[in-house]
């Protein structure tokens, strides 16, 4: 069974750093693109970027380029999303999700993590 | 970037009636050489992650009830629920995966009338 299990909720102060995780199981983790999606409170889904864990090929949305870093460690089947200096506007629910095909970067998300709530407040 | 615009923003339909949600992309998401629309629909219920319903514009995901159907090509797409059930109350999102960033629509909230 394919599963994506995300790390737990975080409460941080502005200016702090943070790295959240997404561990895949039940499939060949290096061979499927993993994406990150932001959902601000009561708002729509926003596509942040994707990474191919096999070679760490990464594409960011221009809206998030330079604001976050997406990485992966294929040896432990885990993808990451990190911030070096959080802002209050980073408060949101963050989902990881898997592309439904091992060969193409152009694909829909077939499996999703449960989401990680990040709260940034002074 | 491709902008996805859904209509309406919210919709109230009686149980057993048809619900129709539209999505328009700012440019074509039809990959001509493969004759495939790089387009999907997701359902998000409160407190849950999104779930894919339809991909390639009209292919139903395994396990999705056949009352859900997708249609359209190029820039205009439709999600139809043929006979609304109580469990279909959710927010529905369209997404293109033709070119990065793989943008989502703003969502359509579906309620029971």
Each residue of B7-16: pLDDT tens digit? 999 999 999 9
- Whether residue A101 has pLDDT greater than 90: no
The confidence score (pLDDT) of residue B5 equals 98
Q: Tell me which DSSP letter residue A67 carries.
A: T
pLDDT profile of chain B (113 residues), mean per 10: 97 98 98 96 97 98 97 98 98 97 98 97
A92: tokens are 């949101």
Best residue in A4, A36, A43, A45 for a mutation probing chain B (most B CBs within 10 Å): A45
* DSSP helix/strand/coil, B3: coil
The confidence score (pLDDT) of residue A104 equals 84
The confidence score (pLDDT) of residue B8 equals 96
Percent of chain B with pLDDT over 90: 100
The C-alpha atoms of residue B23 and residue B41 are separated, in whole angstroms, by: 9
Q: How many CB pairs under 8 A join A and B?
A: 60
Q: Rounded to a whole number, what is the distance in Å from the CA of A45 to chain B's nearest CA?
A: 6
Percent of chain A with pLDDT over 90: 93
The confidence score (pLDDT) of residue B19 equals 98
Q: Do B95 and A47 touch (CB under 8 A)?
A: yes
The confidence score (pLDDT) of residue A103 equals 78
Best residue in A108, A110, A111 for a mutation probing chain B (most B CBs within 10 Å): A108
In chain B, the residue whose alpha carbon lies closest to the alpha carbon of A44 is B106
Contact residues on chain A for B51, CB-CB shorter than 8 A:
112
The confidence score (pLDDT) of residue A19 equals 98
The confidence score (pLDDT) of residue A102 equals 78
- Whether the CB-CB separation of A57 and A49 falls below 8 Å is answered with no
Q: Tell me which DSSP letter residue A101 carries.
A: -
- Whether residue A7 has pLDDT greater than 90: yes
Distances (CA, A) of A2 to A5, A98, A112: 10, 10, 10
* DSSP helix/strand/coil, A46: strand
B64 touches chain A (CB under 8 A): no
């Amino acid at each position: 069974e394919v599963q994506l299990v995300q790390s737990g909720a975080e409460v941080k102060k502005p200016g702090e750093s943070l790295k959240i995780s997404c561990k895949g199981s039940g499939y060949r983790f290096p061979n499927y693109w993993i994406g990150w999606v932001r959902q601000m409170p009561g708002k729509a889904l926003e596509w942040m970027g994707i990474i191919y864990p096999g070679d760490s090929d990464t594409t960011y949305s221009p809206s998030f380029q330079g604001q976050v870093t997406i990485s992966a460690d294929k040896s432990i089947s885990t993808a990451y999303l990190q911030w070096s200096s959080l802002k209050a506007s980073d408060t949101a629910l963050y989902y990881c999700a898997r592309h439904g095909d091992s060969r193409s970067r152009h694909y829909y998300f077939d499996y999703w993590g449960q989401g990680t709530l990040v709260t940034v407040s002074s | 970037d491709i902008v996805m615009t859904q209509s309406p923003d919210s919709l109230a339909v009686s149980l057993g009636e048809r619900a129709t949600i539209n999505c328009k992309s700012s440019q074509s998401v039809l990959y001509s050489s493969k004759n495939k629309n790089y387009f999907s629909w997701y359902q998000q219920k409160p407190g849950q992650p999104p779930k894919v319903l339809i991909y390639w514009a009209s292919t139903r995901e395994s396990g999705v009830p056949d009352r859900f159907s997708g249609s359209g090509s190029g820039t205009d797409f439709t999600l139809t629920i043929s006979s609304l059930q109580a469990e279909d109350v959710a927010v529905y999102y369209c997404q293109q995966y033709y070119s990065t960033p793989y943008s989502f629509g703003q969502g359509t909230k579906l309620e029971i009338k």
